[in-house]
């Protein structure tokens, strides 16, 4: 294939994927009538379907055949694949058009390079090519680790093992003989790769303390070994003083980043704080840093976290500096630099204020108390207004941090409201789906009370039909809210769910399948949502338990088993009949779904469900709900998002 043709097709794929993200979360600035929002989404998803078709052709006929090619690639093919890889996700993660496809290409290029590396003389140029490839490889693996770290522990562990192998290869090139043979530019690249690569251990910030402790100790071991290298006269002679200072600054910043982790020893927190507090003076001595002001903002964030965890007397001062940065932020700055005060500093200030409130470590004055109430909504508002082009992963990272440290306050929004608003802000189709499932579930439950109220026997406090009938309002309220919350775990993988425009890869399916378990973990941390955890965790498990996920959760032992079964049907019904949010696939009819119910009754769905759907009053209400309910939800979504924009 000619170079120009290959380059053109790759560039067109990247451009289509950029457009897809904007189409699935459109701006409301040019919409003045609520009804137009529904039309816009429908039109947009038709375009997404068209783009998906074009992308499928490119992937199936151009890219995947290249990646499965048995013969070695030509120099042109290798160069163009490398260029596509860097367009899909750059090393600094300021661009992340398609991180999972980039990972696949990076894997392939790494194997190709290994073949060539084994065949030719391992001279300086060959090693330098390998280091350059490893640099990008480790960056992509880091991004994937962070994505999995917020949602899927098993996938994260697999990628960590792979990352360690790539990292250890990179570190092997620090061998004195090899290092001396490299150009000055590659030496520094390799040193920074060795430093930055250690961050793979700091990609599960919300893990339990014992896990974090082990990971932090391993990262510290690597960082200390690189500090030893930087103090070795041999390496000092081969590095400029400016580069050496920059390397030390980065090492200390990674040690300071231990302050982002829970459950470490006091000694590690104290070391992290000591490093954080000397970063500013080291920063001043490094004159060729890229994004100097951005780095200083990150220093303020690290100083605040480490002051809190080390119980430092400097906490108040660090908090005041961070609050000043937050209050002076430009809430309309969506650049890489603007994300830090609007999201990272916001989360840090909120985390410390919430933690200090729990620990009663200092008095919250009116200014600080107001921030506790305002920051969560400010974050959601920023996420909604931000363009969803290349930084969606960063936005989801920031949201997951907020969800992990959120506290419910008297008179403030609760965790349910925060989750629902966040869905609307980051991915309106998921918000609409969650509300539709709640409405369908409510409809089914009301008709079950007429049709077969004994279905609800076993619901907490209801061991007889008489008690079930007395508790009707309580059961309906529970079912509606449990259904509304069933997909909150998707907030941790919204960037993967929003990967319309092509078929999902196996690694992406695994991430998405983590959402019931992750959602249940979130629900269990809050008293207002704890009782919904079983429904959240079990809604993708078949009625008879034979299939579905997560595999290790037995719904038969749950007192909410009947609600899990009903939410499962409501979830499937909305997904089957919705044409928006399903990319290019047209929705099925209600009659199509009734046939699916009959075919799967007693296995995937509860045995009584087909009979319930044959009931004319149930059927008629579902028809109305599917025809008009979504229209009303599009209007509701429009007004909710408009409210976020105006405030």
pLDDT at position 258 over 60: yes
Q: What's the confidence (pLDDT) of residue 459? A: 96
* Average predicted confidence (pLDDT) for the chain: 88
Q: What's the confidence (pLDDT) of residue 356? A: 81
Give pLDDT tens digits for 372-426: 999 999 998 888 877 665 667 788 888 888 998 898 888 888 999 999 999 988 8
Q: Which residue has the higher pLDDT, 593 or 29?
A: 593
Alpha helices in 310-365 (DSSP H): 315-327, 336-339, 346-359
Question: How many percent of the chain have pLDDT more than 90?
Answer: 53
How many C-beta atoms lie closer than 10 Å to residue 308's C-beta? Answer: 23
Q: How far is Cα 135 from Cα 85, in angstroms, rounded to an integer?
A: 13
Give pLDDT tens digits for 528-544: 999 999 999 999 999 99
Of 643, 630, 647, 646, whose CA–CA distance to 41 is shortest?
630
CATH 1.20.1600.10 for domain 416-646: no
Residue 130 pLDDT grade (very low, low, confident, very high; cuts 50, 70, 90) = confident
pLDDT at position 147 over 80: no
Q: Which residue has the higher pLDDT, 29 or 298?
A: 298
Give pLDDT tens digits for 180-238: 999 999 999 999 999 999 999 888 867 777 888 999 999 999 999 999 999 999 999 99
pLDDT at position 591 over 50: yes
State mean pLDDT over 11-21. 89
pLDDT at position 515 over 60: yes
Range name among 299-308, 311-320, 407-416, 575-584 with the lowest pLDDT average: 575-584
pLDDT at position 64 over 80: yes
Burial readout 87-125 (b: 16 or more C-beta within 10 A, e: otherwise): bbbbbebebbbbbbbbbbbbebbbebbeeeeeeeeeeee
Q: What's the confidence (pLDDT) of residue 144? A: 80
Q: What's the confidence (pLDDT) of residue 185? A: 94
- Report CA 504 to chain centroid distance, whole Å: 16
Q: What's the confidence (pLDDT) of residue 472? A: 96
Q: Show Cβ contacts of residue 283 under 8 Å, excluding neighbours closer than 6 positions.
A: 249, 289, 292, 295, 296, 299
Q: What's the confidence (pLDDT) of residue 124? A: 66
Q: What's the confidence (pLDDT) of residue 72? A: 80
- Greatest mean pLDDT among 353-357, 449-453, 581-585 lies in 449-453
Peptide bond into 550 cis (omega under 30): yes
Q: Which residue has the higher pLDDT, 404 or 147?
A: 404
Q: What's the confidence (pLDDT) of residue 123? A: 60
Q: How far is Cα 491 from Cα 488, in angstroms, rounded to an integer?
A: 6
Q: What's the confidence (pLDDT) of residue 320? A: 95
Q: What's the confidence (pLDDT) of residue 146? A: 80
Range name among 172-186, 188-202, 501-515, 583-597 with the lowest pLDDT average: 583-597
Question: How many percent of the chain have pLDDT more than 70?
Answer: 93
In 502-553, beta strands by DSSP E: none
Residue 579 pLDDT grade (very low, low, confident, very high; cuts 50, 70, 90) = low
pLDDT at position 119 over 50: no
Residue 95 pLDDT grade (very low, low, confident, very high; cuts 50, 70, 90) = low
Q: Which two tokens stand for residue 472?
A: 């009707």
Q: How far is Cα 339 from Cα 93, in angstroms, rounded to an integer?
A: 13
- Greatest mean pLDDT among 47-51, 72-76, 498-502 lies in 47-51
Q: How far is Cα 545 from Cα 355, in angstroms, rounded to an integer?
A: 40
459, 475 contact by CB (below 8 A): yes
Residue 605 phi/psi, 5° resolution?
Answer: -120, 155
Range name among 141-150, 227-236, 255-264, 355-364 with the lowest pLDDT average: 355-364
Residue 471 pLDDT grade (very low, low, confident, very high; cuts 50, 70, 90) = very high
Q: Between vectors from CA 426 to CA 551 and to CA 16, what angle results, nearest 5°?
A: 95
Q: Show Cβ contacts of residue 466 under 8 Å, excluding neighbours closer than 6 positions.
A: none
Kindly tell me the burial class for residue 352, based on how many C-beta atoms sit within 10 Å of its own C-beta (0-12, 13-18, 19 or more): buried
- Greatest mean pLDDT among 75-89, 354-368, 390-404, 438-452 lies in 438-452
State mean pLDDT over 327-333. 91
Q: pTM higher than 0.85, yes or no?
A: yes
Q: Which residue has the higher pLDDT, 363 or 447?
A: 447
The structural domains of the chain, with segments of one domain joined by +, span: 416-646
Q: What's the confidence (pLDDT) of residue 92? A: 52
Of 245, 131, 130, whose CA–CA distance to 187 is shortest?
131
Helices 561-577 + 590-600 axis angle, to 10: 140
How many C-beta atoms lie closer than 10 Å to residue 314's C-beta? Answer: 16
């Amino acid at each position: 294939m000619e170079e120009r043709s290959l380059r053109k097709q790759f560039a067109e794929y990247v451009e289509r994927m950029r457009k897809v993200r904007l189409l699935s979360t459109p701006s409301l600035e040019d919409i003045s009538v609520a009804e137009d929002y529904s039309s816009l989404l429908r039109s947009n998803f038709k375009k997404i379907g068209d783009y998906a078709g074009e992308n499928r052709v490119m992937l199936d006929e151009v890219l995947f055949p290249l990646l499965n090619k048995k013969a070695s690639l030509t120099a042109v093919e290798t160069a163009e694949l490398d260029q596509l890889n860097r367009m899909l996700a750059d090393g600094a993660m300021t661009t992340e058009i398609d991180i999972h496809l980039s990972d696949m290409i990076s894997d392939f290029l790494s194997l190709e390079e290994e073949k060539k590396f084994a065949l030719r003389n391992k001279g300086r140029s060959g090693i330098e090519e390998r280091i350059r490839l490893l640099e990008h490889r480790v960056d992509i693996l880091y991004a994937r680790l962070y994505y999995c770290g917020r949602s899927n522990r098993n996938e994260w562990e697999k990628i960590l093992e792979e990352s360690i192998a790539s990292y250890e290869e990179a570190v092997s090139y620090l061998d004195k003989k090899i290092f001396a043979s490299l150009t000055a530019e590659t030496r520094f690249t390799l040193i920074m790769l060795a430093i930055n690569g250690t961050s793979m251990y700091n990609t599960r910030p919300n893990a339990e303390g014992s896990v974090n402790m082990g990971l932090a100790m391993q990262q510290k071991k690597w960082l200390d070994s690189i500090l030893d290298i930087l103090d070795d006269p041999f390496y000092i002679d081969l590095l400029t003083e400016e580069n050496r200072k920059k390397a030390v600054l980065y090492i200390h910043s990674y040690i300071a980043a231990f302050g982002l982790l829970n459950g470490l020893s006091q000694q590690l927190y104290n070391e992290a704080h000591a490093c954080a507090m000397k970063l500013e003076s080291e920063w001043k001595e490094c004159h060729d840093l890229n994004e100097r002001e951005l780095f200083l903002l990150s220093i303020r964030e690290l100083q605040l976290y480490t002051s809190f965890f080390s119980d430092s007397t400097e906490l108040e001062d660090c908090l005041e500096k961070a609050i000043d940065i937050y209050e002076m932020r430009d809430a309309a700055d969506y650049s890489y630099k603007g994300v830090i005060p609007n999201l990272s500093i916001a989360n840090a200030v909120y985390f410390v204020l919430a933690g200090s409130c729990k620990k009663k470590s200092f008095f919250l004055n009116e200014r600080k108390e107001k921030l506790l109430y305002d920051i969560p909504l400010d974050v959601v508002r920023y996420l909604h207004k931000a363009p969803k082009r290349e930084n969606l992963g960063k936005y989801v990272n920031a949201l997951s941090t907020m969800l992990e440290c959120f506290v419910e306050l008297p008179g403030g929004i609760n965790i349910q409201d925060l989750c629902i608003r966040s869905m609307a802000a980051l991915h309106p189709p998921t918000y609409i789906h969650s509300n539709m499932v709640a409405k369908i579930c409510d409809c089914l439950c009301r008709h079950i009370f007429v049709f077969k109220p004994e279905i609800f026997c076993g619901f907490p406090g209801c061991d007889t039909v008489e008690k079930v009938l007395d508790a009707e309002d309580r059961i309906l309220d529970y079912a509606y809210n449990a259904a509304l919350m069933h997909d909150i775990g998707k907030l941790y993988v919204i960037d993967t769910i929003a990967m319309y425009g092509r078929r999902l890869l196996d690694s992406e399916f695994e991430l998405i399948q983590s959402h019931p378990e992750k959602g249940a973990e979130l629900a269990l941390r809050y008293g207002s949502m704890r009782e919904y955890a079983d429904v959240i965790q079990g809604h993708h498990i078949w009625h008879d338990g034979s299939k579905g996920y997560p595999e290790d959760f037995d719904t038969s032992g749950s007192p909410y088993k009947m609600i899990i079964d009903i939410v499962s049907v409501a979830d499937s019904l909305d997904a089957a009949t919705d044409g928006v949010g399903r990319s290019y696939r047209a929705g099925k009819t209600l009659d199509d779904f009734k046939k699916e119910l009959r075919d799967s009754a007693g296995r995937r769905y509860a045995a009584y469900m087909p009979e319930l759907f044959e009931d004319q009053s149930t059927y008629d209400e579902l028809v109305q709900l599917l025809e008009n309910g979504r229209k009303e939800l599009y209007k509701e979504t429009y007004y909710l998002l408009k409210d976020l924009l105006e405030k």
